[in-house]
Amino acid sequence: MTVARHPAELELLALVEGELSRGAAQVVEEHLGACAACRAAVEAQRAARALLRAAPAVPPLAPQEVQALVRALPAHARPTPWWRSRPVLVGAPALGLAVAAAAVVISLSNGTPESRPTALEAAAPATGAPSAKAVPPAAARAGYGVPDAATGPGALLGAVAGTPARVVALLRARGIVATARDGQVLVREADGPRARAALATLPSGPVRVLVR
């Protein structure tokens, strides 16, 4: 290999990954000795590789979050053996979950579910019942309290950390129309239950979110 003929990108990648045969690696190494551009490219690969691999793992969901999530999974997704089938009394939270789950249409492509509602949307009760059982799993985090009642205009849906603009962005990202006004955040009455569920995933703070 001459200086004029640079190794292909994939050859350089293979060199960095130690995937080249000894002979092929030697040829590329010889080229690197004479070509500053390729040497720099390989150094860049090695530097980025090392940084990415040294990046610390991100803290996972807390065990209690996982437990709360698993417990809140819609029961109807589980096949019930015929000998266990019998009329079941469902409370409001269970009904809410079942209704929400029914709305989650799973379409499979090679067995993989595609674009669907968020976990919040899937797990949140359709009625917005304030029961802790009906709140999405993330709400189970300690200290993420929301008021128990959310009714008409002026009702307090929650008070969370951050800035009004940030809270508006978070709510909008969940499809909830929100506006910041006078240091507070206002949402439509119809979005109240969903806003409550979203706020339940945030830590308490000074930004008040109200029904407008």
Partner 1 sequence: MDPDRALAKRASNGDLAAFEALVDLHQPRLTTMAARLLGSHADATDAVQETLVRAWLALPRFRGDAKFSTWLTRICLNAIHDLRERRGQLADPEAPEAVDLRDGFAASELAGELQRALAALDPPFREAVVLYDVLGCSYAEISELTDVAEGTVKSRIYRGRAELAQLLAGTSTAGRESE
Hey, which residues between 10 and 29 contact partner 1 (CB under 8 A)?
10, 12-13
Q: Which is nearer to partner 1, 118 or 155 (CB)?
A: 118
Q: Binding of partner 1 at residue 201 (CB under 8 A)?
A: yes
Q: Show the tokens assigned to 41.
A: 């490219």
Q: Which is nearer to partner 1, 63 or 152 (CB)?
A: 63
Residue 171 to residue 164: CA distance in whole angstroms: 11
Single residue of 21, 57, 142, 182 touching partner 1 by CB under 8 A? 57
Task: Please report, as residue ranges, which positions from 90 to 119 form the binding site for partner 1 (by CB under 8 A).
Answer: 101, 104, 106, 108, 110-119
Q: Binding of partner 1 at residue 211 (CB under 8 A)?
A: no
**How many Cα atoms occupy the beta-carbon half-sphere of 87 within 13 Å?**
1
From the list 42, 52, 51, 104, the residue with the least C-alpha distance to 73 is 104
User: ∠ CA(137), CA(141), CA(88), 5° rounding?
Assistant: 35
Task: Please report, as residue ranges, which positions from 167 to 186 form the binding site for partner 1 (by CB under 8 A).
Answer: 168-170, 172-175
